[in-house]
Amino acid sequence: MSRPVRSVLYLPASNARAIEKARGLDCDVAVLDLEDAVAPELKASARAAAVTAVREGGFGPRLGVRINALDTEWGAADLAALGDSGVSLIVAPKVEGAATVHAIAARMRGATELWAMIETPAAVIRMEAIAGAGGPLKGLMLGVNDLATGLGTGPSDDREPLKPWLAATVAVARTCGLLALDGVYNRIDDRVGLGAECRQGRLYGFDGKSLIHPSQIEVANAVFGITEDAARQAEDIVRAFAHPDAEGRGAIRLNGAMVERLHLEAARALLARYALEQGLP
């Protein structure tokens, strides 16, 4: 099982202080951003800074880089510069079709993984084709801000207009064996609101959440992580099915509820992930 992705923090690659701080953060993934967070006149220097950071290493979190879209004047140069850097993850913005995944994959080298951002109306309509593009694609990230703008939705604390696409992203990701990452929460100082949105994302089945500030890491890790209580319940299920009375049975009664063997497999997977999380710094 791969390392958990409860928290994915975006940091501007143009900010040297932010890059240095990222080395000691407890997010699961840190993504150096070359796209939205970087002004046009700083694109080249930010690209060079990202490549240097990747080569120097020393990060606690897994390190990735979000490139500019291929149809911009910077995207191809971003991929070329990162090609020999040893970067383990590239995040591609505004992917609207399988052809974009193939075009990016053709420029990638080594064992680098690709996550595709789903953030336009065209992308959600073509999401199944995008997710099925294969190759280095390992995850879908829902870009809620751009998607809401593209759809023309109004503000809603519970993301009512986006709920169909929250569910669709998870369903498509699961069908294709990909990670599903929820979008960002914009109100940095609102821990209550962040917690509620993380719980909503967890309820829908997302693996983790994209973040825009280090102060959001703790909440995301807690909500998307495995609690001790959940681990104990999973252990109860595994133990119950290991009992001789459960031999050959497809379902058993446990703590007043019916538990099937599909719950046994889920319990084993949860315990494996819990063990990974307990070993994280």
Using an 8 Å Cβ cutoff, are 143 and 119 in contact?
A: yes
| CA nearest neighbour of 277 among 223, 198, 210, 196 | 223
> Over the Cα atoms of the chain, what is R_g?
20
273 labelled binding-site residue: no
71 labelled binding-site residue: no
Token pair of 70, please? 């291929």
Residues making up the chain, counted from first to last: 281
119 labelled binding-site residue: yes
What residues are paired with 12 via a beta bridge? 33
Q: How many CB atoms lie within 10 A of CB 20?
A: 11
Strand residues in 76-223 grouped as ranges (E): 89-92, 113-118, 137-142, 179-182, 208-211
Does residue 32 sit in helix, strand or coil?
strand
Query: CA 119 to CA 93: how far, in whole Å?
Result: 8
Binding residues for Mg(2+): 119, 146
Binding residues for substrate: 66, 119
Binding residues: 66, 119, 146
